[in-house]
Amino acid sequence: MKITGTGFRIFTICNIVFLGLLSLLSLYPYLNTVAVAFNDGQDSMLGGITFFPRKPTFGNFATLLSDDTIIRALLISIAKVVVGTSIAMTVQFAAGFALTKKRLIGRNVLLLYFIVPMFFNGGLIPVYLLYSKLGLLNNFLVYVLPGAFAFFNVIIIRTYLYTIPVSLEESAKIDGASELTVMWRIILPLSRPIIATIALWTAVTHWNDWTTTLNFITKPSLHTLQFKLMLMIKENDMIASLVQEAAQRGEANRAGMIRVTPEAIRAAQVIVTTVPIILVYPFLQKHFINGVLIGSVKE
């Protein structure tokens, strides 16, 4: 039944205007940061920058990326996301698949055992002592191993797997397929929506995490990009030093005049930090929506 009428058209127009203004308010801070990042630093200090750069330049990014520690931090962050997400998806999907089996011995006990840590934990000090005993301090593995098992994600995967007909598995077993073959050849291909969903959640978590570096890493060579951004936001001396080094190398402006500013460098690093994960989302959006809807309800 199609709804028509003047009242409905007025409602639709008001709804579009309202949502448009709401979207604009949400996007403005980021678009303004993009404009400042691509604008001449000294010109940005005059104010008036909104959505578009007034004096476009790549000098801010050239200055930022001229620092070797930034490049290394970017590579560490990328490696953390790729390795951490791969390990987490392997462990969590296997756990979700196993917990769907009613013949699994002690399944209810395992579920209770995994649920308790979701609500209670020992705190930072016991975790630090544990990581110290395991040799994870100042170790890249501290980025990827502790987060490999997230029971909330396992629950979502397990709920999704219940939507796959059991008859498919039974038919495969009649043909002689093992549990591993069933999981790899049948269940895994049918689980792409939920895999994309959990992978996106995990990748965003790894990409945005900087507290792990703060708490467990002291080696500068293992600092992540997000941790460097946090330091730059809080420490003006670091940005001033970066600008001065760029000026000495002549990388800030080839004409010889220094045009970058601490505010412009901060904006450039915000863009460098956020753009990669933003670019990934459109490729997973379709699967993400389907995975959330299907994996959230069991009929």
**pLDDT tens profile 146-164:** 989 989 899 989 988 888 8
Instruction: Identify the pLDDT of residue 190.
Output: 85
Task: Say which CATH topology domain 58-296 has.
Answer: MetI-like fold (1.10.3720)
Confirm if 264 and 37 have CB atoms less than 8 A apart: yes
Confirm if 73 and 213 have CB atoms less than 8 A apart: no
SS3 251: coil
DSSP β-bridge partners for residue 51: none
Tokens linked to 41: 């630093």
Q: Which DSSP category does 186 fall into?
A: I
Whole-angstrom distance, CA of residue 113 vs CA of residue 111: 5
Tokens linked to 145: 């191993």
Tokens linked to 278: 């933003």
pTM exceeds 0.85, yes or no: no
Tokens linked to 212: 């792990």
Instruction: Identify the pLDDT of residue 165.
Output: 84
Q: Which residues contact 63 (CB under 8 A, 6 or more apart)?
A: 242, 243, 246, 251, 252, 260, 265, 268
Instruction: Identify the pLDDT of residue 81.
Output: 92
Enumerate the domain spans of the chain.
58-296
Instruction: Identify the pLDDT of residue 248.
Output: 58
- Find, among 152, 176, 144, 169, the residue nearest to 95 by Cα: 152
DSSP β-bridge partners for residue 39: 56
Residues in the chain where the model's pLDDT stays below 50: 1, 252-258, 295-299
